[in-house]
């Protein structure tokens, strides 16, 4: 069984994807860098949450979406 990844060591490719997502949502490289630091800080704060069974990738993108102000909208019929 492999050991879980550390939240702040999510890998270069995932970091690039997160940074790109933040840049596209915020429109600023500086803002994206600030949010990246916040993402890793939040991931560290909540890494031991036994109720969070999401993958590291899903969890980090969820944090990024929250910090970038992205809201999930449901279709209304």
In a domain, 32, yes or no: yes
Please tell me the predicted confidence (pLDDT) of residue 72. 61
- Domain around 44: 12-68
Provide the number of structural domains found in the chain.
1
Q: How confident is the model at residue 9 (pLDDT cuts 50, 70, 90)?
A: very low
Helix (H, G, I), strand (E, B) or coil at 40: helix
Alpha-carbon torsion, ordered 32, 23, 13, 37, to 10 deg: 10
49 in any annotated domain: yes
- Percent of the chain whose pLDDT exceeds 70: 71
Lowest mean pLDDT, pick from 36-40, 48-52, 70-74:
70-74
Is the residue at 31 inside a domain? yes
């Amino acid at each position: 069984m492999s050991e879980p990844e550390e939240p702040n060591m999510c890998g270069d490719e995932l970091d690039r994807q997160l940074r790109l997502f933040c840049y596209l949502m915020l429109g600023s490289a500086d803002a994206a860098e600030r949010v990246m630091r916040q993402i890793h800080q939040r991931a560290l704060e909540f890494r031991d949450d036994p109720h969070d069974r999401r993958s590291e990738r899903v969890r980090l993108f969820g944090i990024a979406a929250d910090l970038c102000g992205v809201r999930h909208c449901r279709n209304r019929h």
